[in-house]
Amino acid sequence: MGVLDGVRVLDYGRFIAAPWCSALLADMGADVLRVEKREGGEDRWVQSVTSGGEGGTFLQCNRNKRSLTLDSTTPEGAEITRLLVARSDIVIANMPAAGMRASGLDYESLRAVRPDIILASATAYGEGGPYSDRIGFDGAGQVMSGAVYRQGLPELPIRTVVPQADFGTALTLTIGVMMALYHRSQTGEGQHVEGALLPTALMLSNAFLIERELLGVDKPRAANRGTSVAPCDLYEVTDGWVLLQIAGQPMFKRWCRLIGREELFDDPRFADDDARWRNGDVLNDLMQQWCAGKTRAEVLTALEAAKLPAAPLNSPQEVLEDPHVEAMGYLKRVPFPGASKPVPLIETPFRLSATPGTIRRRAPLLGEHTDEVLAEIGYATSQIATLRQDGII
């Protein structure tokens, strides 16, 4: 039995921030209904990996959901929306405020249908400021947060290929939804939960902002090297790359012993983390020299024996074959129509001992559950046929 069994969620989310939030709720037992345009949401078709056109991120972010297609701008569609809202606990959406109002998904409109409804919305910049009407994807949060200014090559800032602001917003939005559910269980009151890409990105880069405000400095971009410690970098070995990150005096001394350079203990250039960072080129060069001619396995074995935090640079294929990933069950392979083989979906990224999340079903085909859902809210087979004929569903 899932911890959220009996909780109903209407999901108007697209791409990542809102859909991944609702996917986590679905993992925990919530009945999540994805409402899409008749031609499908744009996010369904990005990064296509199946013969039907569904994309990899869509398959990840929409497992455990049902799909209803609906033109909610029509009177008939608006009535279906009203009936769905009336029986739902949570509505999740990521669209501009004007679009929310036009679809009857703004908080006041939802409350008029169900007073204790919880609305969870994700936007690029948050509501109430001069940027609120702008649209933006993950990259906007990254580049506006100060993080990309600090990462990359000295002559080239580089944003991360992983949509960290999007997935981070999904996580913060999920936390907010669970807080709102708890509050409602105590008071009977719903509320509006807001998440946004920019504050999520600011959360991730906050230490840089604090450093700038208090010390008045911006450290230079240094590729894969550490932002405040050394040695810290990706080091090339004969068959790939290895990451090492050294922080604190005990760890530094173990590293010195490993590479046979105990005299560095008393070198004033390396007295503490700040000093080691300032002289990081020396330490990183020493580590690269030590790695020269060694295999990845040799380097990692030695670093593990010295109790130093290191990891291999894995290719996607190596991740799929990783024995720890396999033993822990982090990826669950789920069949999907039109996929050449079962899809490796990340399991719920947190584990509860009594009520763990589960992947119970694949992502839905477009409109796969339209008839089923409409029947649940009282529509007869003949009415559903008329709605389809009229282009409402």
- What amino acid positions are annotated as catalytic residues? 166
CA geometry: angle 230, 231, 234, nearest 5 deg:
120
In angstroms, the Cα distances linking 294 to 228, 240, 244, 262, 283 are 27, 10, 15, 21, 18
Taking the C-alpha atoms of residue 43 and residue 15, their distance in angstroms, rounded to an integer, is 5
How crowded is residue 389: how many other Cβ atoms within 10 Å of its Cβ? 9
- Say if CB 55 and CB 48 are below 8 A apart: yes
- In the numeric block, which tokens belong to residue 91? 């509505």
- In the numeric block, which tokens belong to residue 82? 């009203």
- Please list the residues that pair with 34 across neighbouring strands: 11, 67
Label each residue of 20-82 as H, E or C: HHHHHHHHCCCEEEEEECCCCCHHHHCCECCCCCCEHHHHHHCCCEEEEECCCCCHHHHHHHH
CA 236 to chain centroid, in Å, comes to 30
CB hemisphere CA count around 342 (13 angstroms): 10
Taking the C-alpha atoms of residue 91 and residue 74, their distance in angstroms, rounded to an integer, is 20
Taking the C-alpha atoms of residue 29 and residue 7, their distance in angstroms, rounded to an integer, is 8
